[in-house]
Structure 1
Amino acid sequence: MTEQTVDWETFFRERQRQEKEDKLARFRHLNPYVRKGQVVFAGSSLMEQFPIYEFLLDFQLPYTIYNRGVGGFTTDEFYAALEDCVFALEPAHLFLNIGTNDLNGPEYRLSRLLDNYEKILQAIRGRLPATRLNLMAYYPVNPAVATIPHMQEIFRHRTNARIREASEGVRALAARYGARFLDCNAGLTDADGNLKAEYTIEGMHMYANGYKPVLDALLPVLQEIGAQ
């Protein structure tokens, strides 16, 4: 009897696809209960893992914020999921952090990332013209703390130089579409411009102590929103 060979790459890719679908299904069941006209955080895992609900409780912040980030999302996937992640909530204010997963492989092209991002903005402007858009700069990474071979391969492509370049492209899109560009990275970097080692899980994603400086940078914007 021969042993069946498992195609682990296909297995994990399918598992990730299913996890994304499951999250969108949960959103579809949650969205009928949201208070429309509030604040929405949306994007990929760096937004999904923002512990905003707990921070609102911890610091008694008087805001209603819904998190519709989905780990692993590219700009293509986010565009396809706009109904569940944005449109159904009809937010008054939308904070976007989407696109870093586009950088992860050798096929990455800045022009494609920005074209996709612009398509997202056009769709939101067309469907929700009154929504205030807040486009976030991409967070830095720290390849020095990566020990997993898979992560080391990603960091060959997802470099801080490319991240800064992509963020500047998003800044230009913000200006073109009347959005606010938010660079919340000042408290995240070490002397070399890398994500501080004490903030990161594996060089890319962050613990709560990494998100706290981001929250601090966002508070003036949230306070402004709350005063409106």
Structure 2
Amino acid sequence: MTEETKSLTLNPQLEAFQASLLEKYATANRTAKRGQVVFVGSSLMEIFPIEQWQESGEVAFDAIIYNRAVRATTTAFLLAHLDTQIFDLEPSKVFINIGTNDIGFGVPEEEFLANEREIFRRIAERLPDCETCVLRFYPINTVDFRNDEDERALLATRSNHALQAASDAIERIAQEFGFPFIDVNAGLADERGELKKELTFDGAHLNPDGYRVVLSNLAPYL
């Protein structure tokens, strides 16, 4: 793990935010309806405005969708907080997008893939009737961004090749458990294979228009 990674993962302000968000989720879980749908993962899921769209009536589904993702987290974080992020809600369906930060933070592949497998194993054991859907990582844009220090730092340790190779490995693990592996990326990439500039604000994270593309691809599975 690099010094930069240690600095990020041990950032007191970030840790305080994550703890506050987990506390908020734990409180909300007490009155949440069981047997619904849960989105879980890192910032790629946390900033997906699916709950807000459902509450406003912009989208409508038969089930309630609860977003329990936490930004700047890794597979190890999710593994440590499965109760708050998944199990307390007793969902009938879970959508998982986790692991891009493992790549960005320099976590060894064998470590984060082992964590992915353990996450899947525990879900299969605790929620045998739950449909667990694993999402392919979204493409990123390393060509049109890197315009400021934050973007350069974010994209320096990520590449489309690394992300999609990791997705392929995660797909094989998902198949071991019979979990659907879903590619919702149609329409996100340009002719170069880069995330379309108009669908992202920093090259790695989607903006609302990007999430509308994802949602249109994801809708048949919800």
The alignment's TM-score, normalised by the length of structure 2, stands at 0.91
The answer to whether residue 120 in structure 2 is matched with residue 136 in structure 1 is no
Do residues 49 (structure 1) and 47 (structure 2) align? yes
Written as runs of structure 1 = structure 2, the 5 A alignment for 1:1-228 is 13-56=11-54, 57-105=57-105, 107-144=106-143, 145-222=145-222
Shift of 1:140: 1.1
Unmatched segments (≥5 aa) in structure 1: 1-8, 223-228
Taking the aligned partners of 2:9 and 2:35, their CA distance within structure 1 comes to 40
Secondary structure of residue in 1 paired with 2:96: strand
Give the Å deviation of 1:53.
1.9
1:10 deviates by 7.8
Report percent identity of matched pairs: 34
Separation in 2, partners of 1:148, 1:166 = 27
**Residues 74, 12 of structure 1: alpha-carbon distance in 2 compared, 3 angstrom cutoff:** closer
For 1:71-109, what per-residue CA distance to the aligned partner results, in whole angstroms no more than 9, with x for missing partners?
11111011101110001001000000011110113x332
* Amino acid aligned to 1:121: F
* Rounded Cα–Cα distance in structure 1 between residues aligned with 2:133 and 2:64: 16
Change in 2 beyond 3 A, CA 1:61/1:128:
closer
SS at 1:143 equivalent: coil
- Secondary structure of residue in 2 paired with 1:69: coil
Task: Give the CA RMSD over aligned residues.
Answer: 1.7
Q: CA deviation at 1:11?
A: 11
Quote how far apart the aligned CAs of 1:178 are. 0.8
Question: Normalising by structure 1, what TM-score?
Answer: 0.89
Count matched residues: 213
Once residues 204 and 9 of structure 2 are traced to their aligned partners in structure 1, the CA distance between those partners, rounded to angstroms, is 23
5+ residue gaps, structure 2, are: 1-6
Question: For each residue in 1:140-163, what CA deviation from the matched residue of structure 2 results, as whole angstroms up to 9, or x when unmatched?
Answer: 111231323233133222110000
| Deviations 1:113-164 (CA, angstroms, capped at 9, x unpaired) | 2111001111111211211110000111112313232331332221100000
Amino acid at match of 1:202: D
Hey, what's the Cα distance between the residues in 2 that align with 1:10 and 1:163? 20
The structure with the largest alpha-carbon Rg is 1
Q: Tell me the amino acid that sits aligned with residue 185 of structure 1.
A: N
User: Alignment partner of 2:133: what SS?
Assistant: strand
How many angstroms does 1:12 deviate by? 8.0
Task: Identify the range of structure 1 (19-28 vs 60-69) with the bigger mean alpha-carbon deviation.
Answer: 60-69
Moved more, 117-126 or 86-95: 117-126
Number of the residue aligned with 1:3: none
How far apart, in 2, do the equivalents of 1:11 and 1:92 lie? 32
SS of corresponding position for 2:60: coil
Letter in 1 for 2:196: K
